[in-house]
A and B are shown apart, each in its own frame.
Chain A
Amino acid sequence: MNNPDPANNLFNNTSDFDVEKVRADFPILEQQVHGKPLVYLDNAATAQKPKQVIEVLDTYYRETNSNIHRGVHSLSEKATAEYEAARNKVKEFVNAASTKEIVFVRGATEAINLVAQSFGRNTLMADDEIIITELEHHSNIVPWQILSEQTGATLKFIPINDAGELMLEEYEKLLNNKTRIVAVGHISNALGTINPIKTIIDKAHAVGAKVLVDGAQAVPHTKVDVTELDCDFYVFSGHKLFGPTGIGVLYGKEALLESMPPYQGGGDMIQMVSMKKSTYNSLPYKFEAGTPHIAGVIGLGAAIDYVDELGLDSAAQYEHELLVYANEQASLVSGLNLVGTAKNKTSILSFTLDGIHPHDIGTILDGEGVAIRAGHHCAMPVMERFNIPATARASFAFYNTREEIDALIKAIDKCKKVFN
C-alpha cells in the first residue's frame, strides 16, 4: 500500500460498479425518514450492515451459540471453529504474518488503550517522548495523555497545515532518540485526510520508535497491508467496516505482543491458575480475557468476506468519484466553506455554512431525510486548529449515489432558506 490515493486509479474503468445491486444488500437503506427516502451520509461514524452480515449473526444465535475454547460438545467446537476462521480472515485481510498477531478487542479505542497500557506503561520512562498528531480522534489522544501522566513521558503533536495535512517537516523536527512511540491515524475522521503513514513509519523506525496506526477510518476505504507498511501495531473497529459494533482488532508484531504483559486478567487468557501464581496463555489468547464477543467476531468475518467479494479497490474508486462530484456541487453553494482540503483524502466532506451553526444544519438535513454528523467529531484539537466550534460532516460509503449527493445539496439549500 505505498500509495493509498485512489486518485491514481482515476482512469480505471469503473462502469462495472453496480451501486443499485450493492444497495439491495443493505436493508436499512430502504426506509423513509420524515416521509423522505433515507440518505445515509454518516458512514464515518458507523457504516450500515449488509444482509450477508445480519444473516450470519442471526444464524449464529439460532444455530451455533456456545462458548468457545472450552467445550467438548459439538456446538462449542463449531463456534470455536467459526471464531478462529474469522481470525484467519482478518489475518488475510490486513496481510499479517500469523493469526497470533490478531487480537480481538471491543474496538479501535480498546486496542489503543491496550497498547498504551501494556506496551507503553511497561517500557516508557520519564524522559521518553510520544508523538501523535493534531488530526487525531480523541481515542488516539487520551490514552497517550493518560500514559504520559503515568510515566512522565512527554506528548508531542505533529501540526497540520490549512488544508488539514500533516506537516512532515515538523514531524522530522519532533523525532529524536527519546521518541518511543508514534501513534497516527491512517485517515482523519474529521477531515478525510489520508496520511502518508509509510513515510511516518519509516522515519519513526529510523530513531528506534514503535508505531501504532489507527486504521478505524481506513479499512472501509483502502486495502491495508501491515507487512508492507511495517507498522508495529494497526488497530480498527468492525462497525465502520460494515460489521457489528463492539468488536475490533489489534494487529501487533508477534515479537512485540510476546514481550508485552496481559492487559486484563480472566478466563481464557491463562494456562494455569493456582492460589499463588498464574501462567498466561500463548498469543493471541493472552490478550483475550473472558468470553469474547463471539458473534461479533464471526460477523466481522462475514463483513470482510463481503468487502473482499465486492473489491475494495473498485469500491474506493467509486467513492472517490462520489467525493469529486460532491466537491464540485458543494463548491457551487454560496456561503459553504469546506474544512479539510487535503490533496489525498477519502470520502469525507466536512463543511460550515456562513451564519448557520452545524447543529442546526444537522437537524434541518435530518428533516429532509439526510443523515450527517454535526459536531467536533471527537477531534476537538482539529476544530481548535481551524478556530471553529464544529463542522457538518457528510461521509460517503460505496452504497451512496450521486442522487443522494444531490439530495444533500438540496437540503443544504433548505437550511439557507430556513435562516434567510
Chain B
Amino acid sequence: MFDIKDLYQEVIVDHNRSPRNFGKMEDADTTLEGFNPLCGDKLTLYIKTDDNKISDISFDGSGCAISVASASLMTDAMKGISLDEAETLFNEFHNLVTTDDDYDVDRLGKLAALAGVKDYPARVKCASLCWHTLHSALQGESTPVRTE
C-alpha cells in the first residue's frame, strides 16, 4: 500500500525542521560546494580532520526536505569516524538509496530512514548530493560537485 510517510518519515521531517550541524565553520580544513542544477539544491560542507579522523563537520545551504535531512543525518553519522569508515559508509548509503540489497540497520542507524528514497528515482539525487560532495571533499577535490 502506497504511503507517502514511507518517504517522509518522522526522522526526516525532524531533521529538515531542525537540521543538525548546520552553519558555516570558519576554521574548516576542507570546504566544498555541492549543487544540483536540476532542482537548485545547494550546500556547502565544512570538514575538519585530525589524525585520519573527521573531527568536526557541518553544512549550510538550501534544498528540499530530503536533501537537508540527508545532510543533517550524514554529518551526525560522520563525526568522529575515520576516513576509511567514512568511505565505507558512503558506499553503504549509496546501496541503501539505489538498490534493493539488504542493509545493516544497526550500522546505518537513523540513515536507514532514507531507504524510502529508492522508490522515487527523481529524488535519489536529493538524498545523495551531500554524500557525493563529502566523497569528493575527502578525495581532495576542489571543484564544486554537480549532480544532475
Contacts and interface: CB of A to CB of B under 8 A. Distances in A.
Interface in A341-392: 355-360, 363-364, 367, 374-376, 383, 389-390
Contact of B62 (A374, A389, A414, A418): A389
Contacts of A360: 8, 64-66
A375 B38 contact: yes
A390 B120 CA distance: 19
Contact of A363 (B5, B16, B120): B120
Contacts of A374: 39
B80 interface: no
A418 B13 contact: yes
A364 B16 CA distance: 15
Contacts of B66: 359-360
A70 interface: no
B145 interface: no
Nearest to B36: A359
B94 interface: no
A207 to B, nearest CB: 37
Contacts of B17: 355, 419
Categorize the interface residue count of chain A.
20 to 34
Contact of B40 (A34, A376, A418): A376
Contacts of A35: 2
B123 interface: yes
Given A357-B64, A357-B65, A360-B66, A367 B4 contact: yes
Interface residues of B, number: 22
A419 B69 CA distance: 13
Contacts of B78: none
A244 B80 CA distance: 56
Contacts of A364: 4, 8
A357 B63 contact: yes
Contacts of A367: 2, 4
Nearest to A380: B40
A355 B18 CA distance: 11
Contacts of B41: 389
A225 to B, nearest CB: 38
Nearest to B3: A367
Interface in A4-47: 34-35
B118 to A, nearest CB: 14
Contacts of A375: 38-40
B13 to A, nearest CB: 6
Contact of B39 (A356, A359, A414, A418): A359
Interface in B1-58: 2, 4-5, 7-8, 13, 16-17, 38-42
B126 interface: yes
A419 B14 CA distance: 9
A363 B4 contact: yes
A359 B64 contact: yes
Contact of B13 (A357, A358, A390, A419): A419
A176 B16 CA distance: 51
Contact of B123 (A34, A359, A418): A359
A357 B65 CA distance: 7
A241 to B, nearest CB: 26
A355 B42 CA distance: 16
Interface centre among B7, B39, B120 (most CB of A within 10 A): B39
Nearest to B7: A363
A332 to B, nearest CB: 23
Given A34-B2, A418-B8, A363 B40 contact: no
Nearest to B65: A360
A356 B68 CA distance: 11
Interface in B110-135: 120, 122-123, 126
A359 B126 CA distance: 10
Contacts of A358: 64
B130 to A, nearest CB: 15
Contacts of B4: 363-364, 367, 414, 418
A414 to B, nearest CB: 8
Contacts of B122: 363
A363 B64 CA distance: 11
A355 B19 CA distance: 13
Contacts of A414: 4
Nearest to B63: A357
B64 to A, nearest CB: 4
Interface centre among A363, A383, A414 (most CB of B within 10 A): A363
Interface of B: 2, 4-5, 7-8, 13, 16-17, 38-42, 62-66, 120, 122-123, 126
Sorted from nearest, which 4 A-B pairs have the closest CB atoms?
A357-B64, A359-B64, A389-B40, A367-B4
26 contacts: A34-B2, A355-B17, A357-B64, A357-B65, A358-B64, A359-B64, A359-B66, A360-B8, A360-B64, A363-B120, A364-B4, A364-B8, A367-B2, A367-B4, A374-B39, A375-B39, A375-B40, A376-B40, A389-B39, A389-B40, A389-B42, A390-B39, A414-B4, A418-B5, A419-B8, A419-B17
Given A383-B40, A389-B39, 9 more contacts: A355-B17, A357-B65, A364-B8, A367-B4, A374-B39, A389-B41, A389-B63, A414-B4, A419-B65
